[in-house]
Structure 1
Amino acid sequence: MKILFVGSYPPPYGGVTTHIKRLTNLLFNVGYNITILDVVNGDFKKINKNICIIPLRLKYIKLIVQSFSTANIVHIHTSGYGKYWRESLLIILSKISNNKVVITIHGGLFPEYVSKCSAVSIFCLKFWLKYSNKIIFVSCLQKNAVKKYILSKEINKFEIIPAYLPEEKGDMTNNDLKNSFVEPDKNYFNVLVMGNWLELYGLDIFIYAVKKLIDNGINLKANILIYIYSEPDLSYKMKIESLIESLNLRENVTFIPETDDTSSVYRVTDIFVRPTHTDGDAMSVREAISFGIPVIASDVCERPEGVVLFKNKDPADLAQKLQHVLDNFNFFKIHVSDSEPRAYGEKLVQIYSNLF
């Protein structure tokens, strides 16, 4: 079977690009041929005889048309943050080529976008729903937004499938990242926050929470790890760095350089914090759980079982929950080990098989 993905292949490493890479590897291992129409990067790549990446650029138009004409299924991955016309054009090309069409909507802000859509955008979204064969949402909030604002009759096409797919966890003896930390004391915990240089990822909320613990006289036995996997919004990056300096937290914070082996980041992490202001279904949360790491996350969406929730945009509540997990770490460590997340690849393979 030949699958054409429309999305982006890493780098950069984010939730959608990582999902596409892992899904590509999973399908390759069970005998699928994969072409990726990359809407972000501009370089053609032939990974092997069964996997190639074609940039969505005019100079590659012949390869793009050929990839549609030879595919059995076109799977479009989108945040759902506008540009609905682009996906609509790709659906038209898919139907001309007699492809089955699957769309996965990944974005946590998608419900907000849908609630404010113009008439043209609503028309495009209804077009998606009518002419696709399957619509996959990563959370029930997305599905409910479509039912409320689009008033679709295509509900039989809807599926909720979280984006998490397990990573090959690399060389577990690789200690390069662990050795880069200056604090060797085993009584200290490494607390990780991960995301983009964007305000919606809540880095400032996390930093204020850490400061609040320190100001309350608590001996915070924690190293703060910040892992950013995107090109920075320079103004927000400067804001965060200035905030860290102004709150005298520089000695508490370590910025981890971007790596294509994210398992190495999780292997040095004791507690994972997800302070986002909005979310779809955060792959990083499920990933942390799969490594047996206790997770604290904002209450902006449904979270996996065992995640400790704090009130969105409330650093005081986050500080309280962080201190609670630090004080009772062994309890939460044992508890999270009993709640390893499902991998959802088999469900996607079944959808492809049913459509084919």
Structure 2
Amino acid sequence: MNFVDVVVGGIPEPIGGVTNFIYRLASNNMTGEVVDLYPSKKKDIPKSFRGKFSQVNGRKSFYLYYFFIYFFSKKKIFFNFSSPKGLFLVLLLPKRGNKFYVVLHHGELCCNFLTLYFFRLLSGKLDRVYAITPTQKVFYEKIGIDDRVIFLRSTYLPPVEDDFCHGKSSLVHTNKKHLVFIASGYPSSIYNHDWCIKAIGGRNDAFLHIFMYGDGDKKEQFLNMELPVNVFFHWDTPSFDFMTALASSDYYLRPTSRDSFGIAVADALNMGAVSIASDVCKRYPGTVLFKNGDYEQFKRLIDEALGGRPLSLSANFESHNGFSPFCFEGETL
């Protein structure tokens, strides 16, 4: 059964790779409970979720919650963290009859003392470790994790009907004379949002909407930037509104210099848009790829799209080989 009893992490807000993934697990009813470590009054609980949603005030409160609720249970508990630092929470928990599943959503893991220490102490407690990239799988094997508990998985789950509105978005401009391009992410240099502005800004045949979340090294620059008339920033937009905007777009742009997958790349394709992304990592099947760091190739693809030329004539596409949506059970890919 593609189901775990408890998922530990969080759902939006805050918005990020970990919380979006858990939101999808809940909306697809792949867990009986979500335990959110980041309490907020603005939580976006999926309408389709039939399980229990619990908020605890940080990791210390989670220990108390665990001892009272799960200490004598036999549950499958799935821990989600962005980096190895989160594993300290699991390290101090007694397993009893429970099973511990873990995924680290940051695609790149460094083989430093802290990571080695945590994993070696944890190796006997983990029943499943989900690797989100082949490189991550190799990393886990090298530091001594038993190969039998490592499962290579995509962390993508398609959106459900309740995740967005099928009508036109009130946030984006749509008409027959302009193509709508969307980009998203943190205001960080690794997202290369300035490439999108440079390639599309000032054109009379396109609109560019960039959805920004959280902080980053370019936030102040973007907040004070004088934008071209056809470029728009949206800050900390709720997931439902962003997804509705994505469904109203023609193209989604992801020129990242570092990435682990790019959920919005896949969502855009599933909603009928074209996704153009760097080849810095494995992308969703059908994504139009350009060489990581090659602005000229990125710009050429946009020019071809605006010129009405089919991208299939010149572009490379991510293949379908070895891809499937996230699942708990089954063999590794």
Place the TM-score, normalised by the shorter chain, in its bin: 0.7 to 0.9
Q: How does 1:142-153 map to 2 (within 5 A)?
A: 142-147=136-141, 150-153=142-145
1:225 aligns with 2:209: yes
Cross-structure match for 2:267: 287
- Out of 253, 256, 262, the residue aligned to residue 234 of structure 2 is 256
Distance 1:60 1:159 in 2: 26
Distance 1:131 1:58 in 2: 20
8 Å contact from structure 1 (residues 225, 255) kept in 2:
yes
Cross-structure match for 1:41: 39
8 Å contact from structure 1 (residues 102, 133) kept in 2:
yes
Counterpart AA for 2:54:
I
TM-score normalised by L of structure 2: 0.81
Cross-structure match for 2:80: 77
Change in Cα spacing, 1:19 to 1:71, as seen in structure 2 (3 Å) is farther
- Out of 195, 199, 223, the residue aligned to residue 189 of structure 2 is 199
1:174 aligns with 2:176: no
Counterpart AA for 1:39:
L
1:90 aligns with 2:90: yes
TM-score normalised by L of structure 1: 0.76
1:349 CA drift (Å): 5.4
Change in Cα spacing, 1:57 to 1:141, as seen in structure 2 (3 Å) is closer
Distance 1:135 1:180 in 2: 39
Counterpart AA for 2:24:
R
1:156 aligns with 2:138: no
Q: How does 1:175-190 map to 2 (within 5 A)?
A: 175=168, 177=169, 179-181=170-172, 183-190=173-180
8 Å contact from structure 1 (residues 205, 315) kept in 2:
yes
Distance 1:12 1:53 in 2: 16
- For residues 18-41 of structure 1, what are the alpha-carbon distances to aligned partners after superposition, in whole Å with 9 as ceiling and x for unaligned? 11122123236xxx53141x3333
Cross-structure match for 1:53: 54
Structure 2, unpaired ranges of 5+: none
Change in Cα spacing, 1:295 to 1:24, as seen in structure 2 (3 Å) is same
Cross-structure match for 2:253: 273
Distance 1:121 1:78 in 2: 13
3-state DSSP class of the match of 1:204?
A: helix
Structure 1, unpaired ranges of 5+: 352-356
Change in Cα spacing, 1:282 to 1:60, as seen in structure 2 (3 Å) is closer
8 Å contact from structure 1 (residues 164, 287) kept in 2:
no
3-state DSSP class of the match of 1:303?
A: coil
Distance 1:44 1:61 in 2: 24
Change in Cα spacing, 1:268 to 1:42, as seen in structure 2 (3 Å) is closer
- For residues 134-164 of structure 1, what are the alpha-carbon distances to aligned partners after superposition, in whole Å with 9 as ceiling and x for unaligned? 11122212223333xx442511211111111
Q: Which runs of 4+ in 1 moved over 4 A?
A: 42-45, 328-332
1:62 CA drift (Å): 3.1
Counterpart AA for 1:224:
L
Quote the RMSD (CA, aligned, Å): 3.3
8 Å contact from structure 1 (residues 88, 128) kept in 2:
no
1:10 aligns with 2:4: no
8 Å contact from structure 2 (residues 265, 275) kept in 1:
yes
Cross-structure match for 1:344: 325
1:125 aligns with 2:112: no
1:281 CA drift (Å): 1.9
- For residues 41-95 of structure 1, what are the alpha-carbon distances to aligned partners after superposition, in whole Å with 9 as ceiling and x for unaligned? 35699x7984122322545653232233235111111122x41xx4144244142
Give the number of the structure whose residues are more often helix, by fraction: 1
8 Å contact from structure 1 (residues 208, 315) kept in 2:
no
Distance 2:151 2:273 in 1: 28
Distance 1:173 1:306 in 2: 22
* Range that drifts further, 166-175 or 304-313: 166-175
Counterpart AA for 2:190:
L
Cross-structure match for 1:354: none
Change in Cα spacing, 1:198 to 1:65, as seen in structure 2 (3 Å) is farther
1:329 CA drift (Å): 5.9
